[in-house]
A and B are shown apart, each in its own frame.
Chain A
Amino acid sequence: MVAELKELWRFRELLWTMVEREIRIRYKNSVGGFLWSLINPLVTVLVMTVVFKYLVGNQTENFAAYILAAYLPYMFFQFAVMDAAQSILVSLPLLRKIYFPREILPLAVILSNFIHFVLALLVFFAYLLAVYLLHPGVWPFQWSTLWLPLLLAVNLALATGVGLAVAALNTFFEDVKYIVGVLLYLLFFLSPIMYFSENVRYSSALRGPLGDWVYTLYHWNPVAALSTAYRKILLAPQPVYVEGTKVPPLPMDWGNFAFVSLICFGVLFGGYALFNRLKWRFVERP
């Protein structure tokens, strides 16, 4: 693997060029450009706010910000993995002609999605500021936001590991992308994105030692752990309504986060190892 990484380093300019190309292609023929990638999360958040606040009757303040803080990272993960799944197949004619480290293809789409994600986070902060200026209340920015680079690194490691594995497997079995699509959909509901992790912790269905276990297992899922972590470090802690009663917010669980980070870097290592095992057979695909 060290040799593979050295080779990748030698080709770093190609990687940057491809990332740049990805971003250019995406917005080449659209006037709205980058804004279009924000439409989807903004509409979702708008709809969710209306549904939860006025139809379901959730009284959590500034609920949209809490959804967005978990939804943007999830969207990054989803797009990075789904784009990576196709990355080898669409460039197969090129792979048959020229040598270059094959991992550059999935890495380029993952990194370009990561750049979008970081830009979307900037818009997220602008949104927080706008809400504060319109309804002055609690100052929305937290010191704990300084942990953001760490979370981004763990998130990127996870997306890259899964993306590389899926890219390699999908090249041989095109069913993989459909299976992954379904799994990502499940993951969306198995992670605290449209609800809070406190809803799981204090759920009446999960009382006693069994509930403790379920909650621990629940947060071993890296996407769930990351969703919770983004919320805890980006936004002010605030009481959550669980089945109609107000409960105090749980603090950020750094122990669990450290454990999940290890999992994420393990996934990165495993995904890259799998990719390397298969990468020279891509062009010989039947």
Chain B
Amino acid sequence: MSSEPAIVARDLVKDFVVSHSGANSLKTTILWFRKARVEKLRVLDGVSFDIGKGTCVAVIGKNGAGKSTLLALLARVYRPTSGFIRANGRIAPLLELGAGFHPDLTGLENVLFNGVILGLSRREISKRIDQIVEFSEIGHSIDAPVRTYSSGMLARLGFAVAGHMDAEILVVDEVLSVGDLDFERKCVRRIQEFRENGGTIFFVSHHLETVRRVADRCLWLKDGRIAADGTPDEVTALYEDRGGR
């Protein structure tokens, strides 16, 4: 394992402002300015960890424990309130059902766009476009608008793009259960390859069986803190034992 960790988090804190009026018009803001109840919700409350290169880490926890917020902070979608989380290397987020696909553009155009948004250059994408299309098993429909695709096709295309990013870190938010069985196996193989090449995986799951099968390490997130950190067997056993509480 390399000396430099793939992901570092230190005292990560994230507050969200909860608005009860749902103020998103000027009128409500002006009218309710004095009464504005600004309440802060602490979603992450001092999370620290180091993740070594090549590890597959699973994050488990109840709904609202801060798992998705943690992933979003890693993807730099949010700014932390304090502390930091840093990734060394390119991150490929596996998006739900091809978020970022435009329905009126063809599959091919969307692959290009998605690749660029994930940080590849156009030349890099054109080099792998054949591989991506072949992996997705979409065939000739690749030239049809994405709105004509089934959800399975969308998921396959989304995974194909993210899987060919040459990323060092793969971030997965419970999406791997959309394709058919064959495709799921193919994804698992691809992830295996990715790990053999020294890639790091950071994923969120409610499916403890998957966690035990694929992860090397497991973090249990509870009320914005790390409740347990260890091998998947230990942590999931503890989690089941306490019923997530």
Contacts and interface: CB of A to CB of B under 8 A. Distances in A.
Interface of A: 13-14, 17-18, 21, 24-25, 28-29, 93-100, 172-176, 280, 283-286
Contacts of A173: 24-26, 29
B32 to A, nearest CB: 12
A29 B22 CA distance: 37
Contact of A280 (B29, B78, B100, B104): B78
A286 B19 contact: yes
A28 B116 CA distance: 21
A284 B14 CA distance: 11
Contacts of A176: 26
B76 interface: yes
A286 B38 CA distance: 11
B interface residue count range (under 10 / 10 to 19 / 20 to 34 / 35 or more): 20 to 34
13 contacts: A14-B116, A14-B117, A17-B112, A17-B117, A28-B104, A95-B77, A97-B100, A98-B95, A98-B118, A176-B26, A280-B78, A283-B78, A286-B23
B78 A94 contact: no
B164 interface: no
B105 A172 contact: no
B25 A97 contact: no
Interface string B199-237: 000000000000000000000000000000000000000
Interface of B: 16-19, 22-27, 29, 72, 75-79, 93, 95-96, 99-100, 102, 104-105, 109, 112-113, 116-118, 121-122, 145
For the complex of A and B, 7 pairs with smallest distance between CB atoms: A99-B76, A286-B19, A175-B26, A173-B26, A17-B116, A280-B79, A28-B104
Given A13-B122, A283-B77, 9 more contacts: A25-B102, A28-B104, A96-B77, A98-B77, A98-B118, A174-B24, A174-B25, A175-B25, A286-B19
B91 to A, nearest CB: 8
Contacts of A97: 75, 77, 93, 95-96, 99-100
A284 B25 contact: no
Nearest to B96: A97
Contacts of B93: 97-98
A162 B117 CA distance: 25
Contacts of B72: 96, 283
Contacts of A285: 24
Given A97-B77, A97-B99, A100-B117, A175 B27 contact: yes
A175 B145 CA distance: 34
A281 to B, nearest CB: 9
Contacts of A94: 99-100, 117
B113 A172 contact: no
B104 A98 contact: no
Given A17-B122, A28-B104, A98 B117 contact: yes
A29 B116 CA distance: 24
A171 to B, nearest CB: 9
B112 A98 contact: no
Contact of A17 (B29, B95, B113): B113
